[in-house]
Structure 1
Amino acid sequence: MKRKAAMLMSLCCVGIHVYSQSSSKDSVKMVNLQEVVISTRATSKTPVAFTNVSKKQLEKQNFGQDIPFLLTATPSVLTTSDAGSGVGYTGIRVRGTDATRINITTNGIPMNDAESHAIYWVNTPDLASSLEDLQIQRGAGTSTNGSGAFGASINMKTQGIPSKAYGEFSGSYGSFNTHKETFKVGSGLINNHWAFDARISNIQSDGYRDRASSDLKSYFAQAGYYGENSSIKFITFGGKEETYHAWDGISRERLKTDRRYNPNGKIKDGKVEMGFYDNQLDHYKQTHYQLLFNHSFSSAWNMNVALHYTDGNGYYEEYKNDRTLKEYSLLSYIIDGINYDKSNLIRRKHVDSGFGGGIFSFNYKNNRLDGSIGGGLNHYKNDHYGQVIWVKNYIGYLAPDHEYYRNKGEKLDGNIYAKANYELTKGFNLYADLQYRSINYQIKGNNDKWDWSAEPERPQLLDIDKDFNFFNPKAGVFWQINPNNNVYASFAVAQKEPTRNNYTDGLFDKHPKAEKLFDYELGYTYRNSCFTAGINLYYMDYKDQLVLNGNLNDIGEPMAENVKDSYRMGVELTAGVKLTDYLRWDVNATWSKNRIKNYTEYLSDYSDKGSELYTQTERYLGDTPIAFSPSFMAGSLINFELSGWSASFQSQYVSRQYLDNAGDKENSLDAYFVNHLHAGYTFKIRHVKSITVGASVYNLFNTKYETNGYSQTAAVYQTDSNGNPTNNWRVSNDPCFYPMAGTNVLFNLTLRF
């Protein structure tokens, strides 16, 4: 409590920096509709690598797929989809780093789960329909709220409230019975001060893979009051999802015979497959509340304050075959004189979370200086518990709500920052950004893992209470050489605490260390009215990065361990040319080298199944590639717009990606080249502002490719003539993959009033 009180006092003035701006062209002159602009965003003179994605760009392809798939045309971005179609559980990687290392905010408020650091886009489906724009910063980026940006940050801004009343319907339908319906309505400005806005959405899909269905509902609503110098806005948005599990990949052999196969929910009687469980489902509901206040003291000074709360709860249900009963706090049973200590069962794993806090900033801007002081203080609590609701042929008492584990995670996270961009001489800017972040993280209770090494055996006990204090300085220079040319250079430090899984899956008596990143960036941009080109060089030096290396914890499960030295270095190229008034071509490419130094891999000996803890074999590999980090990737986007007609042709090439850190070709995703085509026509009729009809063809040339997977590498020892193990062993690989859909289509219709 003393520790928390000290944090509260030291961070009593923390928040988010947001600039005020006037509304769109159709705003009523009597009122300046001030809207928030994310403080953590880079501007044209900030020395970081970033890409802005506008509302118009999002609308052109927002027909049902999740936000990651709307960003595939941006540099260094890769996407994944469990269901294979971009609907349901999806993921994003930037510069090879996954979402647990990408800081994601909405209006400056953290979206990453405070414990896992993951972002589950499925919990807020169709959020893109309520975004004004977003910015992707690659590298450590600028100071932000929430978990550390270890590869990138994505800053989303929700839409402003238009000053004129409107209505809108958009719908789509296509392959795999995928369809999306979105209704939007806005009041316009009422009595020169008030405005309201709302959206509801429905997205459903059978998925490309068998039974990989999604049933997604969401909403967005906001109300604002706009005064002469102040504005206050209340925003709420959320979603409810039900998805069938497609969490497991399939073998390389299965890819050749049945790419759509989904092993999740399999029911077995011994070794015989009996079918699939209908309720192998994930249920989750998440609701966000945001209260944003903006006040301008003068043309130079303004203040912004935001309060927020996110409520989330749900569970997933799954059928498990041949499970050891005592791991679920169940007694063995006897039938016909035979003792059964294993059986098939159905379990549910529940989470019930709450995340809330406040953020603020004071901002100053004149002709030469743009600065702010701000920060945030957030509290998170999450209950985890599991139930067994059915056991096959069970003889004995089974309560309807039989519980076999329960634990609670709690996190207090505060930060304060000061940053400034100062024009030292005409065209030459100095940038400085200093952040202090303090975290207390606790986990108490029983985990869902059984501790076979304990005396007596019991569920794994969790008793984590860790403090972290990070100082993250950033500095850079920006030089506008002339109106067409600019260069920048920057250095940044980012630090990140371990995730929940790093604790629960690690050694019981040894906890992971925090990770640190030193990020060096150097960039150049040329721009004129018809052509833009840019180059960005980066070197990201990691200390104590947490990676899965095959080592096992106390109960024989793979875990992540700190590796002393690792790095990512590369060059990002971008270019765009306006060929005519109606035709534009943009391209990007990333060459990179991603390595772990002096790497040692641990291989389990799965032939030694008689022991409770599998034996392991060390394999020193030296400098090896980091998993899921392609050495080359490139993208192309050709856009056409003329007289209401629009079309785009998007292409992406990704080189080989390794599924683990050993650099073994057998455990890798093959390189792929995939293309998508979008086309539409917009016209007007009486009483309708505009009508847009169109179609999107994904994977135009029916490429067979995979974007995600995992390795299952083992050491298999040879035996002598008597069946005794020898010192000779070989590496056995059994990787699994997540296939993407072949050619598929979505037709779309949008009506605006």
Structure 2
Amino acid sequence: MKNLFAAFIALLLPVIAAAQFSVSGKITGKQTADALPGATVSLTTPAFNAVADAEGRYHFDNLKSGTYTLKISFIGYQTITQNIVVNTNVTADFQLAPATQLTEEVTVTATRASATSPTAYTNLKKEDIAKNNSGRGFEYLLEQTPSTVVTSNAGAGVGYTSIRVRGSDATRINVTLNGIPLNDAEDQGVYFVDLPDLASSVDNIQVQRGVGTSTNGAGAFGASINIQTTTRRDTAYTELNSSAGSYGTVKNTISLGTGLLGGKFSFDGRLSKQSSDGYIERSGSDLKSFFLSGAYYGQKSVLRLNVFSGYEKTHQAWDGVPEDSVKYGDRRYNELGYIASSNSYYKNQTDNYTQNYYQLLYNQQLSNNLSFSGALHYTRGYGYYEEYRNSDAVADYGLTPVIKGADTLATTDLVRRLWLSNYFYGATYNFTYHPKNFNLILGGAYNEYKGDHYNNIEWTQESTTIPPDYEYSRNNAKKTDFNVFSRAEYHLGSLILYGDLQYRHIGYSFLGYDQNLNNVQQQVALNFFNPKAGITYELNQQSNIYASVAVANHEPNRSDFVNSSPLSRPKAEHLTDFEAGYRISQPTFGAGINGFYMLYKNQLILTGALDDVGEAIRTNIKDSYRAGVELNGWVKIAEPLTWYANASLSDNKVKNFRQYLQNYDTGLLEERQYGQSDIAYSPGLVGASTISYHPIKNAEIAFISKYVGKQYLDNTSTDSRSLDAYFVNDVRLNYNFKMKGIKNAGIGLLINNVFSKKYQSDGATYPDIEGGKTVNYNYYFPQAPVNFLASLNLRF
């Protein structure tokens, strides 16, 4: 019998070893004993946490035996961290005491999605940012998030970089920095080159795809990117970060902080300098920035002042490489700044811009259930781009043709500077009320923008009577942007009801054409109502299903207004976004699937048509849509090996599209009709993969892959005006260790495009008709073959 019993136990041991256990409990307030629904309970496993339900209860399933660290946090309460041993089912209740000091989570809470929001989103923590912050543009931090395509004008990741999410470029992506709008008020783009090395001062990022939650600033048609900068660090530190690599790329950063002084104050600072020659010819960049932050922490309040600035000088590579050059093997050719008379290039064909930011952020805990967050901000930007022009008509600059002997010279080579000087300032606020089973947020903002656009002639080949820095044109603009929004979540058992309403008013004054085609100051006023509704059902603490419908409106940009009259002025764009999905998070894996149908009305696109002013502007297209599914997940294959992956499959169409081509044989525009065609820059398949292997403690080897399907350069689905699909792989190596006198030393190596894939990630097309045939003038942005960035981090 003993032998039989021993044999039975021996057979059972593997089953016992593989047994799965649970940890559950309830989160309450220490003083009131009330449940704390929405409290976050995290385990020491990547991306694995639970949110307390309406009764304050949490639950983790499928845990292997072992020791775990639980972290319980809730805004307005002290965070608890506790180790628990799991070798059976465990019940662990926690009581949270009111916080002695307020955290800064409320700064961005109003604009963030939570684990139960009916919204597709991705969170990036400080650790995720740090290991990818090797010196490339900010957008590359987001490259592995679903439905995202990132590209570099210079081809090597430094200088002008750009992002598209679900096929929408930065003008249709809402970007906020500590809840403050970052999009340019007039053209609505985002230029992270103006804030070099911003990533070194960022604590966390959330990317919401689709319309997302209401926030301040531009309408979100593709995504919202919400960035939070430096938050409190309790101990003093000094960090030195340096990286160097291919194409003369060098970045040096020094960061330091006092930690918490006297339990009340903290000060942080950063200074960065970066330069690169670029892969494309004459695409070099010289970038500088600093970041200063000081904070006061009271028992119920936080006051923080951020002052930061960026300067960029980049050579112009924004037109790309002509298709013929790419075909003949010259993937680096840049024709900008060419001087025809001397067969040389103008050395100062550059873009120069400085932007200074000031942010005063204030958080106040008004009661256990009510908090306030507000901000005042001011941004000052100024700069120009300089360019050489061959044989321009002097009449275009309001000048009299040059008389030279018996000849009248109507054209001349010249150098001009196109200036922008602007001011952006305003206030944002939100109140958060969070009683039991209910969460209500009321927020809004008022912002003003003043922009002066003026252009100067610096030099002319032919003698003229103009003085130095002759100003030949000026366009002053003012824009006001007011919005108010309210968002509510109601927990009804396992059901969460979500509602969100936003009203936005825009006033814009600009120099444009009136209906008589006189160029005079014009005004427009736009009013938008953006409702959203959703529902989430919690299957258990680790999984839920959701569905939502959201409306967004997006105003035309500066050029749409300036280059049109009231008779031809385009309408605002309108989007109705339907989303539904399922997500699950377990100790050894997590996954999500999200379906979307985005129905556009009056989407603005270039068709080649001219308005009554004679300008080629964007035209409203009545019907277009995006429909697709996004899948993402991660799995811990073994203790040292984890695989992260996502894929987005979509169908992106314009209905009844009409294109107008200039026919140089007749001097007229020729119309081409398409019943249904693909939306430009909208690949049908985008995928990403990261296989992370930790051979030893504090060391990582990551194999990173990106696939982007075929993209069309216009809305005609024409193969000769397209970008081929590409599949690119990188390798990232990181190792951290300690040395005497150094808290942490980290070395890293990023090998980009390890297999030297020849590909173009972006481009443009300008077709016309010549000699009875359609001629395509395509320009591409080739990306560099295999290249590297090595980095060193020292923290004291």
TM-score (norm 1): 0.91
The yes-or-no answer on 1:343 pairing with 2:401 is no
The yes-or-no answer on 1:423 pairing with 2:491 is yes
Call closer, same or farther: CA 1:348–1:653 in 2, change over 3 Å.
same
2:756 & 2:615 partners in 1: Cα distance? 38
* Deviation of the 1:19 alpha carbon: 6.1
User: Which residue pairs with 1:405 in the alignment?
Assistant: 473
* Deviation of the 1:251 alpha carbon: 2.3
Check the 8 A contact 2:512/2:563 in 1, yes or no. no
User: Which residue pairs with 2:610 in the alignment?
Assistant: 552
The yes-or-no answer on 1:442 pairing with 2:514 is no
2:227 & 2:608 partners in 1: Cα distance? 36
1:364 & 1:218 partners in 2: Cα distance? 38
User: Which residue pairs with 1:372 in the alignment?
Assistant: 441
* 2:389 counterpart letter in structure 1: K
The yes-or-no answer on 1:264 pairing with 2:264 is no
Post-superposition Cα deviations, 1:171-212, rounded to whole Å, max 9, x if no partner, equal: 000000001001000011112111100001001000001110
Structure 2 counterparts to residues 316-715 of structure 1, below 5 A: 316-392=385-461, 394-425=462-493, 427-444=494-511, 461-506=519-564, 509-554=567-612, 556-608=614-666, 614-641=667-694, 642-715=696-769
* Deviation of the 1:21 alpha carbon: 7.3
Identity across the alignment (%): 43
* Deviation of the 1:671 alpha carbon: 0.6
Check the 8 A contact 1:576/1:587 in 2, yes or no. yes
Secondary structure at 2:247 match in 1: helix
* 2:775 counterpart letter in structure 1: S
Call closer, same or farther: CA 1:423–1:31 in 2, change over 3 Å.
closer
Check the 8 A contact 1:87/1:205 in 2, yes or no. yes
* Deviation of the 1:581 alpha carbon: 2.3
The yes-or-no answer on 1:207 pairing with 2:278 is yes
- Higher mean displacement: 99-108 or 461-470: 461-470
- Higher mean displacement: 671-680 or 462-471: 462-471
* 1:731 counterpart letter in structure 2: T
* Deviation of the 1:606 alpha carbon: 2.8
Secondary structure at 1:122 match in 2: helix
Structure 2 counterparts to residues 704-743 of structure 1, below 5 A: 704-716=758-770, 718=772, 730-743=773-786
Secondary structure at 1:253 match in 2: helix
* 2:683 counterpart letter in structure 1: P
Post-superposition Cα deviations, 1:248-293, rounded to whole Å, max 9, x if no partner, equal: 1222220132111111111112xxx611000001110001111011
* Deviation of the 1:444 alpha carbon: 2.5
Call closer, same or farther: CA 1:156–1:689 in 2, change over 3 Å.
same
2:758 & 2:562 partners in 1: Cα distance? 37
The yes-or-no answer on 1:50 pairing with 2:50 is no
* Deviation of the 1:607 alpha carbon: 3.6
Call closer, same or farther: CA 1:363–1:32 in 2, change over 3 Å.
closer
Out of 380, 383, 386, the residue aligned to residue 314 of structure 1 is: 383
* Deviation of the 1:61 alpha carbon: 1.4
Call closer, same or farther: CA 1:48–1:34 in 2, change over 3 Å.
closer
1:294 & 1:279 partners in 2: Cα distance? 46
User: Which residue pairs with 2:96 in the alignment?
Assistant: none
* Deviation of the 1:644 alpha carbon: 1.8
Secondary structure at 2:343 match in 1: strand
Check the 8 A contact 1:324/1:341 in 2, yes or no. yes
Structure 2 counterparts to residues 144-155 of structure 1, below 5 A: 144-155=215-226
2:147 & 2:613 partners in 1: Cα distance? 37
Count of aligned pairs: 704
* Deviation of the 1:335 alpha carbon: 2.4
* Deviation of the 1:161 alpha carbon: 2.4
* 1:418 counterpart letter in structure 2: S
1:633 & 1:382 partners in 2: Cα distance? 37
* 2:679 counterpart letter in structure 1: I
Check the 8 A contact 2:205/2:227 in 1, yes or no. yes
2:564 & 2:722 partners in 1: Cα distance? 25
1:306 & 1:565 partners in 2: Cα distance? 39
Out of 221, 238, 254, the residue aligned to residue 309 of structure 2 is: 238
1:483 & 1:358 partners in 2: Cα distance? 38
Out of 156, 166, 169, the residue aligned to residue 95 of structure 1 is: 166
Post-superposition Cα deviations, 1:722-751, rounded to whole Å, max 9, x if no partner, equal: xxxxxxxx3222211111111101110000
1:23 & 1:253 partners in 2: Cα distance? 61
Structure 2 counterparts to residues 286-325 of structure 1, below 5 A: 286-325=355-394
2:300 & 2:718 partners in 1: Cα distance? 61
Secondary structure at 1:376 match in 2: strand
1:685 & 1:31 partners in 2: Cα distance? 34
* 2:733 counterpart letter in structure 1: A
Post-superposition Cα deviations, 1:676-717, rounded to whole Å, max 9, x if no partner, equal: 111021110111001001211001100011111111111235
Secondary structure at 1:628 match in 2: coil
* Deviation of the 1:582 alpha carbon: 2.1
Gaps of at least 5 residues in structure 2 are: 1-73, 83-98
1:396 & 1:157 partners in 2: Cα distance? 52
Call closer, same or farther: CA 1:93–1:354 in 2, change over 3 Å.
same
* 2:630 counterpart letter in structure 1: E
1:118 & 1:320 partners in 2: Cα distance? 26
User: Which residue pairs with 1:8 in the alignment?
Assistant: none
- Higher mean displacement: 526-535 or 139-148: 526-535
- Higher mean displacement: 659-668 or 581-590: 581-590
Post-superposition Cα deviations, 1:322-363, rounded to whole Å, max 9, x if no partner, equal: 101011122211224221101110000001100000011111
Secondary structure at 1:64 match in 2: coil
* Deviation of the 1:396 alpha carbon: 2.9
User: Which residue pairs with 1:37 in the alignment?
Assistant: 108
Call closer, same or farther: CA 1:73–1:21 in 2, change over 3 Å.
farther
1:499 & 1:24 partners in 2: Cα distance? 48
Check the 8 A contact 1:334/1:340 in 2, yes or no. yes
1:572 & 1:334 partners in 2: Cα distance? 65
Check the 8 A contact 2:76/2:368 in 1, yes or no. no
* Deviation of the 1:675 alpha carbon: 0.7
* 2:425 counterpart letter in structure 1: G
Check the 8 A contact 1:19/1:39 in 2, yes or no. no
Secondary structure at 1:666 match in 2: helix
* 1:169 counterpart letter in structure 2: L
2:142 & 2:490 partners in 1: Cα distance? 32
User: Which residue pairs with 1:63 in the alignment?
Assistant: 134
* 2:502 counterpart letter in structure 1: Q
Out of 232, 235, 250, the residue aligned to residue 179 of structure 1 is: 250
2:569 & 2:529 partners in 1: Cα distance? 21
For the aligned residues, what is the CA RMSD? 2.0
Secondary structure at 2:293 match in 1: strand
The yes-or-no answer on 1:749 pairing with 2:749 is no
1:109 & 1:34 partners in 2: Cα distance? 15
Check the 8 A contact 1:38/1:155 in 2, yes or no. no
* Deviation of the 1:32 alpha carbon: 4.7
